Amino acid sequence: MGMRGKRVLITGASGGIGRATALLLAGMGSRLALQYFSNENGIGSLTKEIEGIGRVGVGGRGREGEYSSNSVITIKADVSRYEEVKAMVDTVMERFNGIDSLIAVAGYPMRREVWFADPLGLTDEMLDKPWSVDLKGSYNCIKAVVPYMKKQGNGSIVLVSSTPAIIGDAYGLAYTLAKSAVIALTRSLAPALAPDVRINCVALGSIGTEANMRGYDEIHLNTLIKGIPMRRLGIPEEAARAIAFLASDDASYITGQVLVVDGGEVRV
């Protein structure tokens, strides 16, 4: 894929999907700005792993064989707060002098008590938290990066949604509503941002990240897998490859689309 030298901002980089995407793009030679909110250990270990990629000579390698300190930066920010997002984007622009791709992975972690809650018994907090991170966070990032992308004449944006946003899920309603709005944001903004900026979305099915697995006991997990034609959970690297494709020049004529990555679970 055409990602060598691309300047990429990834939100939610310390989580399973964000981490896999960062590692994949580092191997391709992208320059990375990695946003995190609270997982300092996760972002620290990710940075060390990326530096290891440079040392073995894969992508982003400096003159002495190491991943250059100018090729990866980490930024702590709350994506639900526009002023923090704007400051983050300004920092990336200062370091990289441009942003070629925004990959908005950051999402509110869905806890079991919320995922299996009575759909007509949701509290304001249950509704507001996913909305503020998944939708508002994505919108804040788009709002901050698009003027720079427009000025440079090109850019790509990839948002992350989920298959419940397509087929519905009453017992994950707060999450489903927020992820449905992410798809609506993608489709609504595509004509407005074209032709300079492309925006697409991946709708992920059951990906076996640590955060996702916390929500299932063994009985629910086995039931879930039986409903997937591929008869297994996806792995973060499979999600990362779809994200990287949409962000890359290989997808130069694709915008406003939703790419479903779910092992065949959704057939519409």
Sign of torsion over alpha carbons 12, 153, 248, 165: positive
Establish whether 36 is a catalytic residue. no
Chain centroid offset of residue 185 CA: 15
CA distance 109 to 133: 10
Q: Given 67, 108, 175, 216, which residue is catalytic? A: 175
Residue 146 and residue 88 in contact, taking contact as beta carbons nearer than 8 Å? no
| Token pair for 267 | 């057939």
Q: In what order do the strands lie in the sheet with 101-104?
A: 72-76, 31-36, 7-11, 101-104, 155-162, 197-204, 258-261
Q: 3-class DSSP state for residue 213? A: helix
By annotation, the residues acting in catalysis are: 175
